[in-house]
């Protein structure tokens, strides 16, 4: 298998929210990293609680290499017996005798108690030894676990574990197990693990074929998961338009407090401009906070809003500076035909922006004489223009936030489906992993 399609798909998926992408990322890991994990057949020992999974591993080893006991479940972690990269297959390494030739055995927790852990292991292994007992093979939890394995298309053998009892006493059970599980018992194991060792020897000899089969199944399963992610992405894209609408409403309500503006009217313009920029940013942040509270019940959208808010650009100060220049120029233009003393023009230049910011501010006598009856209308006009300038100053910030709300801004559902098709059609990794044993 050419691993490049899998890598490309991985790059697409990691650009999505992790909550959306994780169902496809987990099985994809095998397609990217399995070739570097040696040529042994990686086989998971899987079953429900109390069927004897750990006991048969110990029987194979001839000593206790994993813990067994009366409490259920005994195994709560993954135990790896054999040489495989811990980065690819994490778990406690089993110390003791060598595992069966060309095999890595993975003892797993009870499927009903640790379904997430077991699912992660299933996505990495080449085959499964599905363990049942005479008491537990027809229950609902066994059926659920079996369906999880079959859904992934993992090559599987059924092991009937009878503990210290005589295996020959359970020959009549084979037919019922076949009916209930939909597949026959491959081996019955008691205290003598040799029948299971022979089964594993046969599997090891055919490991090239088994791994090839597993690779194809993994590619198909991963492609199905990716298509489901694409469906979710499309739905989320539609839903994001609703959130974007809510964002627009929140931003439309966001205002800079006029009392705050009035408070900086005595400052020099450079100081005042910086304060106005900070006020505009705070107004945007309040709107985002309001939006975040509104989508808090949806984990994905809550994360999306948080991520979008964390990457906001700065407020653009240029519209505010432009407003200041225009306010001064318009005031001066209205008196340009009057022969005013330079001090009076300077008073207009210095006070006009302050009077426009704070409508309650009392103009100086010089300004009143300079602008006369034009002053009230000019103040209200420039005050309205400041509202527009504040909106323009925050527009890039708001636009960036709205863009980041779209879950398909970096990757489309069509991109995912095309990449899934490429992975599904990719073939097998077998030539890179191992051929059949001689």
| Fold of domain 4-228+426-433 | Rossmann fold (3.40.50)
Q: Are 128 and 43 in contact (CB under 8 A)?
A: yes
Domains of the chain, by residue range, sit at 4-228+426-433, 254-407
Q: Are 242 and 424 in contact (CB under 8 A)?
A: no
Instruction: Lay out the sheet containing 187-189: strands in order across.
Output: 92-93, 79-81, 103-107, 41-46, 127-132, 156-161, 187-189
pLDDT value at position 431? 42
pLDDT value at position 60? 86
pLDDT value at position 332? 81
Task: Using DSSP bridges, classify how beta strands 103-107 and 79-81 pair: parallel, antiparallel or unpaired.
Answer: antiparallel
DSSP 129: E
Q: What is the CA radius of gyration of the chain?
A: 35
For residues 393 and 396, give the distance between their C-alpha atoms in angstroms, rounded to a whole number.
7
pLDDT value at position 105? 93
Q: Report which of 56, 61, 34 is spatially closest to residue 126, judged by C-alpha positions.
A: 34
List beta partners, residue 45.
107, 129
For residues 43 and 80, give the distance between their C-alpha atoms in angstroms, rounded to a whole number.
10
pTM: 0.73
pLDDT value at position 3? 82
pLDDT value at position 437? 41
Task: Using DSSP bridges, classify how beta strands 187-189 and 103-107 pair: parallel, antiparallel or unpaired.
Answer: unpaired
pLDDT value at position 252? 87
pLDDT value at position 427? 52
For residues 360 and 63, give the distance between their C-alpha atoms in angstroms, rounded to a whole number.
90
Listed as ranges, residues in the chain with pLDDT below 50 are: 70-75, 428-438
CA atoms within 13 A on the CB side of 77: 11
pLDDT value at position 73? 44
């Amino acid at each position: 298998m050419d691993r490049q399609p899998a890598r490309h798909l991985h790059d697409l998926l990691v650009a999505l929210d992790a909550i959306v992408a994780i169902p496809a990322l987990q099985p994809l890991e095998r397609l990217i990293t399995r070739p570097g994990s040696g040529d042994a057949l990686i086989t998971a020992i899987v079953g429900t609680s109390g069927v004897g999974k750990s006991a048969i591993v110990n029987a194979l080893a001839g000593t206790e290499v994993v813990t067994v006991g009366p409490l259920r479940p005994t195994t709560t972690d993954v135990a790896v017996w054999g040489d495989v990269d811990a980065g690819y297959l994490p778990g406690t390494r089993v110390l003791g005798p060598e595992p069966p030739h060309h095999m890595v055995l993975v003892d797993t927790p009870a499927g009903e108690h640790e379904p997430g852990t077991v699912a992660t292991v299933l996505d990495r292994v080449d085959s499964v030894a599905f363990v049942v007992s005479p008491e537990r093979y027809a229950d609902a939890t066994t059926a659920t676990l079996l369906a999880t394995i079959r859904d992934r298309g993992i090559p599987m053998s059924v092991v009937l574990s009878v503990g210290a009892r005589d295996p020959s006493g359970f020959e009549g059970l084979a037919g019922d197990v076949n009916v209930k599980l939909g597949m026959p018992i491959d081996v019955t194991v008691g205290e003598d693990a040799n029948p299971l060792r022979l089964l594993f020897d046969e599997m090891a000899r055919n490991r090239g074929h088994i791994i090839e089969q597993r690779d194809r199944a993994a590619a198909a399963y991963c492609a199905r998961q990716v298509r489901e992610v694409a469906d979710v992405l499309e739905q989320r894209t539609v839903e994001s338009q609703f959130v974007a609408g809510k964002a627009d409403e929140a931003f439309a309500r966001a205002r800079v407090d006029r009392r705050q503006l009035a408070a900086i009217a005595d400052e020099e313009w450079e100081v005042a401009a910086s304060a106005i920029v900070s006020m505009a940013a705070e107004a945007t942040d309040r709107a985002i906070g309001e939006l975040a509270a509104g989508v808090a019940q949806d984990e994905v959208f809550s994360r999306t809003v948080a991520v979008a808010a964390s990457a906001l650009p700065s407020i653009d100060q240029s519209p505010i500076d432009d407003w200041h220049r225009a306010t001064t120029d318009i005031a001066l233009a209205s008196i340009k035909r009057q022969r005013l003393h330079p001090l009076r023009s300077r008073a207009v230049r210095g006070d006009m922006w302050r009077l426009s910011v704070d409508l309650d501010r009392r103009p100086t006598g010089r300004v009143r004489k300079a602008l006369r009856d034009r002053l009230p209308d000019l103040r209200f006009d420039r005050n309205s223009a400041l509202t527009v300038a504040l909106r323009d100053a925050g527009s890039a910030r708001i636009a960036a936030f709205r863009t980041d709300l779209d879950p398909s801004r970096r990757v489309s559902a069509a991109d995912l489906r095309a990449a899934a098709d490429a992975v599904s059609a990719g073939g097998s990794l077998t030539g890179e992993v191992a051929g059949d044993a001689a």
